[in-house]
A and B are shown apart, each in its own frame.
Chain A
Amino acid sequence: MTDKKVKIYLDGKEIICDEGATIMRVAQDNGMMLPNLCYHPDFSVKANCRICVVEVAYSADSVQPSSLRPDFGMKAPKSAQARLVTACDTKVKAGMEIKTDTTRVKRSRNLNIELIFAEHIEKCPTCIWRVNCKLLELAERYKIEICRFKDRKGKRQTYKFANAVEIDSSQCIDCRNCLEACNDLQKINYLELRGKGVAQEIVPVTEKGVFAFAKADRRKVDCIYCGQCALHCPVGAAQEQADWHLVEKALKNKSEVLVAQIAPSIRVSIGEEFGVETGRVMTGQVVAALKKLGFAYVFDVNFGADVTTIVEAEELIERLKIRERLLNHEDKKLEIRNLKFGKVTPISNLPMFTSCCPAWIKYVEFFRPDLIPNMTTARSPQMHSAGIIKTYWAEKMSAQGGSASGRKIKPKNIVVVSIMPCTAKKFESSRKELKIRGDWPIDYCLTTRELAWLIKKNKIDFKSLKAERADNPLGTASGAGAIYGATGGVMESALRTAAYLMATAQDRVCRDLGLEAKIRFGDSEIQRVEFKDVRGQEGVKTANLEMGGKKVRVAVVNGIGSIQPILDKLKDFDYIEVMACPDGCIGGGGQPIPTTAEIRKKRLAALYKIDGASKIRRAHENDEAIGALSWLKKQGKLEKTVLYTTYKKRS
């Protein structure tokens, strides 16, 4: 874009704007929202819905550029001077006269909306998307006859991806955003567009060919359940597989104790669903709303994140130590034992990968099972939190004779509902290997959108709710827990604790708590809190750190689409964080729509604001977490069940 300014006319109003900006941009900057469906700031312009059309002519004093458009021998249309163009991809030029509401514009815009509407089978009564459906909004705004044409996709199929995401072809309007999300943004290539013209359909590549020219060789690809397709779908054809109605049912069941736990990232995004400005922290309102919905207890997964940080930091230190011992040939036995592990680092399972992101776990299990030994064995925050609720908290409460709605609190009575920014968390919740004493730690997993829907459905005035605090004893959390929702956040949290442990020459937080006598390094290192190298919206972030006199090389992969360069040089790193969604959980597949780079930036800032304002900012300073871990340590086998997990090859 040039710095040159040009003069144009928008509906008769004279406007000075940047040359090379699109008409849509200029209109938006001047307070006029042109309709759009296929447009998404995360992607290149596709201009296939054609509803942002405007009429363009050139004022007499400017020369009309010659059109290179082939006309197939057609005579120039009567109104050659004024043309309809799509505002999303047409750039302004000096002297342009843009009209957004002529009869011709109205005819085409409305007709195209009607044509698109006929592709979309209305399933409004069961669709949580209906409260912010762009199609319905457009229909109302332009008084569209939504049934002008007969629905033509009634017989189309719904493709379900595990229990996480689904694409309902009968609602698809062929805008192809999901295709771009899956193939270009995430580079998973699980979706493909088959067929031509009206027969075209978005299908998973694994689907057996129903079209004559479908490719014969099925690539080995699977969905990682990240939900970016759902996040970028303008009409809710791609959606999370809804569980809100099950939760609604459970809330009515008086024999159970309903417990909700909220993810670090949803508090900074859910407000958008209720017209609050982007990036406002709404923790108190979320807790209050959940209580209003009927949850007896609401816990904060930030607490679970602190547990994860501690477990993961300890594991990192252990692996680093094993490597050191191996390099010094101190432990032959270890060397042999470790040889059977993956190819990359046959000795110490370094680099270690984070495992908080369930989509990333699925990616490893399916595409790179050779990296399974490199994954941290720590469970994710929601699992730590839920596991501790159903064991530690349950026992504590029943010992106190605690009850909710007249029912005694016992592990079997507790129903844990996890509110996550994520669709893949639904899949994680159904992993059998995560069961504790035969029970599912998490009974239902909802997305941010599903919670927002429940709040709206129950006519709770979210904005004006009085803030409430999450329940104790699992209510306290450090700032490190809060930033789990940001890209680089898990890394930074783990580094804060690992740096402390290494500087004080400790292996474990619990065991050696209070042994600060061993301190060998300076105060600054022991007190280090911020690791700004791993923050930010870039696809890949790396840093070389010095901790306890040792070098630790770390990398953060921001969005699974950016992973390849890191996979190509694994040997250069000791610790790698991977988040499948752009900018981490705040850009997760279950977050409010729209989610764009700009919006994500504000959500990120909000998380760091929570962190900055926290009294404690490092996980190992969270006494509640230490308390729960110490209790678990005394429970024998249970400690392992609640804190650790295993992975398996899935291809």
Chain B
Amino acid sequence: MDILEVKALNKVYSGKVATQALTDIHLTIREGEFVGIMGPSGSGKTTLLNMVSTIDRPSSGEVRIGGQNPYNMRKRELALFRRQQLGFVFQDFNLLDTLTVAENIVLPLTLDRRPLKEMDGLLKQTASKLGIEGILNKRIYEISGGQRQRTAIARAIIGSPLLLLADEPTGALDSQSSRAVMESMAEINEKDGTTLMLVTHDPVAASYCNRIVFIKDGKLAAEIHRGENRQAFFQKIIDMLSFWGGNTSELSSIRV
């Protein structure tokens, strides 16, 4: 089953000088896939993610998530749709300082007025999946960046979304935390079969995906699939980046 279908998507930012951010994008993500979107800065990765995550409207073309077109929904329906069908992980976590870790995680469920017992059960289950049971009663400013991102992932998956969207989830983390976060995401993908779409320019993070789509100047440029070996996949990503990116200095942050 196709979870995400993007057809002939165009995005133009109007202004004094109109900018064509995305041109004729076609992209399909099947259930259980873990797809990475890569490309140099300004290539349109985040624009594409914004279209998929229903935050921004396309200029033309169609986006279907689980067979539904979110842009035909009314505002309130859309909010519900985001809450129940999509999960979000952001580079800067977007957690509420005012809440504890546990409260942050269950927030989407409380908005849906789920029974307390069910929330407690789901919370326990999700927290143990991400290894954050020990910090549930801590406040956000008391925990590390990696723990914050795993809290954000827990919040994103607690409602069992159709599609989990991640925007540079490792962008603000050190390599150790990055690895822990990416391993959690890969595990969610493998064990629970959650469909993921990841936008990143970190090749290490990208190497956890099944498939990577490259974008350059708002157009689809290439696509590579992962084989058995992650190390080999990583090398392939580096090669693709240096080919499509055309500028090796962008790869200076490689970490293995």
A pairs with B: no
Residues of B within 8 A of A (CB): none
